[in-house]
C-alpha cells in the first residue's frame, strides 16, 4: 500500500476527559469534537422503542446526547463520563463501552465506505503520558472489535498510540521543550527531549474540572445553587466570566474599588436567565488563580468549609501535593532532568489544552492576563527569570494536530513495539 494511502487516511483520536477530538487529516487544523460521554437510554420506555433502540444499540453518544437530558433523578446513573483525571479505570466496563461507542461513532462519521480504495483508517489515538499498559491494550482491543462488528467493511487498518504531550511537541515541531498539557481532567508537566523524559513527568490532578468546582462553589455562595447543579452550565459560566489575575490581591482590590468595570454577569443563551455576581464579581479572579495556585491563602476559607482540594499525585515514592503551585511543579519537574538540558527546557515551555485558553476581555488588560503571562510571572517569583512560556495556537486542538502529523511520519512497515510503545498495531485480517 502506498504511503499516499496513509496520508489520505490518517485519523486522529484525542481522548479527553471532557471532549473527544477526532477526524481525518483533511479537516485541516480543527478537528471534529463532542463530549466524551454516553447515555444509557431507558430501554423500557415506549419512546426508546419507537426510536429503534432494540438490542444492540444500548448507548447513545455524540451530539445527540443533549436531547436525552430531560430533568430526571436517574441522570447520574444513565449519563456516563468514562474518564476521570484523564484515565479510565481498568475494570470499569461501562466506561469502556462508552469509549468504544465514542470511537465507533467518530470513525464511522468519516469512513468513506463507498470508496473502493478505502481499507480502513490509520488511527492515531492519544492518551495521557505514563498511562497504564491496560489502557493501551484496551484501546487496541476496542478498535479490533469495531472492525469485527462493522457491517460495511473494516473502519481501521492499523492503530498507534501516542502520549498527549508528545503529540503537542510534534505538532509544534519542538524537539526539546517542556509541554504543559492542561485539559479538563489533569495537567501533565512533561519535559521532552525527543521523547517524554519519563522520570521527570509530573501529572497534576488539576484541570478545567477543578475550575468548574470552584465556580460551582462561588455560584452556590452567591445564591445560584440550582444553576450550580448543571455541569454544562457551570462550565459555560466559567468560560464566560472566569479570569486569570496577573496578581490576585491587587486584582481583587481593583475589582472591589470599581465593581461595574469588573461586573460578572452571564446571560444563559436561549433563556431569560441571567447570572449576576454583582458585588461579588471580584470572585471571578478566584477561578483562574485556583488553577495556577490553589495554595493561595484566599482558598483556605473554602477548604475550611469542606471544599475538596485537588488530590495529591503519587509519582514513584514521591507525593506531589494537589495544591502545588504550577510554577513549583514545573521547576521540580525540569530539575529532575540533566543540568545540561535544563536551560533548553526552561526556554521552551509550551502551554496546550483547553484549560489554558483563558481570554482577556478588552478593558481589563493587565489586571487579567493570559495563561502564558501568568506562568511567566510565577516562574519569575521563584527566581526563574529567563524562562520562555508560549501558549500554542488552538490549544484545545494541538494534541489532535500532533496525532495527524505523527501518523504521517510513522512508516507503514514500522510494527508496534511494546518496549518502545511506538509503531503500528495492525488489525486482524488486515
Ligand atoms: N476559553 C476558555 N476559557 C477557559 N477554559 C476553557 C476555555 N475553553 C475551554 N476551556 C476548558 O478546557 C477544558 C477542556 O479542554 P480539553 O479539551 O483540552 O480537555 P480534555 O482533553 O477533555 O481533558 P484532558 O486532556 O484533561 O483529559 C474544559 O474544562 C473547558 O471548560
Ligand atoms: Mg486532552
Q: pLDDT by residue (tens digit) across 50-100?
A: 555 555 558 999 988 887 776 556 677 788 999 998 999 999 999 999 999
Could you report the per-residue pLDDT of 112-145, keeping only the tens digit for each? 988 889 999 999 999 999 999 999 999 999 999 9
**How many Cα atoms occupy the beta-carbon half-sphere of 99 within 13 Å?**
30
CA distances in angstroms from 220 to 229, 264, 378, 398, listed in the order given: 9, 15, 30, 34
Average pLDDT, integer, range 9-22: 97
Query: Looking at the CA of 353, which ligand is closest?
Result: 1
**Pocket around ligand 1 at a 6 A CB cut-off:** 16-19, 83, 86, 183-186, 207-208, 235, 239, 242, 353-355, 357-359, 396
Domains of the chain and any CATH numbers: 3-37+81-164+396-426 (3.30.420.40), 200-391 (3.30.420.570)
Closest ligand 1 atom to residue 86 Cα is 27
Instruction: Write out the H or E segment, with its range, that includes residue 203.
Output: strand 202-204
pLDDT for residue 384 is more than 90: yes
Which residues, listed in sequence order, are joined to residue 182 by a DSSP beta bridge? 187
Please state, rounded to an integer, the average pLDDT across all residues of the chain. 93
User: Does residue 98 contact residue 37 with C-beta atoms inside 8 Å?
Assistant: yes
Query: Looking at the CA of 185, which ligand is closest?
Result: 1
The alpha carbon of 14 and the centre of ligand 2 are apart by a number of angstroms equal to: 7
Closest ligand 1 atom to residue 353 Cα is 18
Average pLDDT, integer, range 256-277: 94
The alpha carbon of 183 and the centre of ligand 2 are apart by a number of angstroms equal to: 5
The alpha carbon of 24 and the centre of ligand 1 are apart by a number of angstroms equal to: 21
Q: Pocket of ligand 1, candidates 18, 82, 186: which has the most ligand atoms within 8 Å of its Cβ, to mutate?
A: 18
What are phi and psi for residue 198, nearest 5 degrees? Answer: -55, -45
| pLDDT for 12 | 98
The alpha carbon of 17 and the centre of ligand 2 are apart by a number of angstroms equal to: 7
The alpha carbon of 162 and the centre of ligand 2 are apart by a number of angstroms equal to: 12
Contacts of 168 (CB under 8 A, 6+ apart): 179, 181, 350, 352, 392, 398, 399, 402
Task: Count other C-beta atoms under 10 Å from residue 220's C-beta.
Answer: 14
Q: How many residues does the chain have?
A: 430
Q: How confident is the model at residue 2 (pLDDT cuts 50, 70, 90)?
A: low
Q: What angle do CA 260, 261, 264 make, to 5 degrees?
A: 75
Residue reference for cell 460578572: 264
pLDDT for residue 352 is more than 90: yes
Amino acid at each position: 500500500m502506498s504511503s499516499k494511502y496513509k496520508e489520505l487516511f490518517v485519523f486522529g483520536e484525542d481522548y479527553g476527559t471532557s471532549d473527544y477530538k477526532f477526524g481525518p487529516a483533511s479537516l485541516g487544523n480543527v478537528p471534529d469534537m463532542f463530549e466524551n460521554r454516553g447515555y444509557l437510554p431507558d430501554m423500557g420506555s415506549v419512546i426508546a422503542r419507537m426510536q429503534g433502540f432494540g438490542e444492540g444499540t444500548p448507548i447513545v453518544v455524540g451530539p445527540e446526547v443533549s436531547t436525552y437530558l430531560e430533568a430526571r433523578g436517574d441522570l447520574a446513573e444513565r449519563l456516563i463520563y468514562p474518564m476521570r483525571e484523564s484515565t479510565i479505570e481498568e475494570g470499569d466496563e461501562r466506561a469502556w463501552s462508552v469509549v468504544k461507542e465514542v470511537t465507533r461513532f467518530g470513525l464511522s462519521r468519516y469512513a468513506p465506505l463507498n470508496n473502493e480504495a478505502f481499507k480502513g483508517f490509520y488511527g492515531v489515538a492519544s492518551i495521557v503520558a505514563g498511562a497504564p499498559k491496560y489502557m493501551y491494550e484496551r484501546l487496541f482491543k476496542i478498535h479490533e472489535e469495531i472492525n469485527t462488528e462493522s457491517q460495511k467493511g473494516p473502519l481501521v487498518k492499523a492503530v498507534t498510540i501516542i502520549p498527549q504531550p508528545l503529540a503537542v511537541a510534534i505538532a509544534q515541531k519542538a524537539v526539546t521543550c517542556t509541554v504543559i498539557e492542561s485539559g479538563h481532567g489533569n495537567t501533565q508537566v512533561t519535559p521532552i527531549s525527543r521523547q517524554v523524559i519519563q522520570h521527570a513527568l509530573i501529572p497534576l490532578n488539576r484541570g478545567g474540572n477543578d475550575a468548574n468546582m470552584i465556580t460551582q462553589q462561588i455560584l452556590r455562595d452567591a445564591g445560584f445553587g440550582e444553576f450550580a447543579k448543571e455541569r454544562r452550565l457551570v462550565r459555560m459560566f466559567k468560560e464566560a466570566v472566569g479570569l486569570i489575575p496577573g496578581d490576585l490581591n491587587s486584582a481583587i482590590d481593583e475589582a472591589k474599588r470599581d465593581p461595574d468595570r469588573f461586573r460578572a454577569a452571564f446571560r444563559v443563551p436561549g433563556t431569560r436567565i441571567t447570572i449576576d455576581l454583582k458585588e461579588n464579581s471580584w470572585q471571578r479572579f478566584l477561578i483562574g488563580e485556583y488553577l495556577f495556585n490553589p495554595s493561595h491563602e484566599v482558598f483556605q476559607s473554602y477548604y475550611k468549609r469542606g471544599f475538596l482540594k485537588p488530590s495529591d499525585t503519587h509519582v514513584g515514592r514521591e507525593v506531589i501535593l494537589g495544591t502545588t503551585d504550577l510554577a513549583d511543579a514545573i521547576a521540580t519537574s525540569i530539575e529532575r532532568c540533566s543540568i545540561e538540558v535544563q536551560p533548553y527546557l526552561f526556554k521552551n515551555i509550551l502551554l496546550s489544552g483547553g484549560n489554558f485558553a483563558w481570554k482577556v476581555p478588552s478593558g481589563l488588560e493587565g489586571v487579567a492576563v493570559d495563561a502564558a503571562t501568568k506562568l511567566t510571572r510565577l516562574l519569575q517569583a521563584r527566581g526563574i527569570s529567563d524562562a520562555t512560556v508560549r501558549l500554542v495556537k488552538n490549544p484545545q486542538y494541538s494534541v489532535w494536530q500532533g496525532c495527524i502529523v505523527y501518523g504521517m511520519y510513522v512508516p507503514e512497515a514500522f510494527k508496534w513495539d511494546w518496549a518502545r510503545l511506538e509503531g503500528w498495531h495492525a488489525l486482524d485480517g488486515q
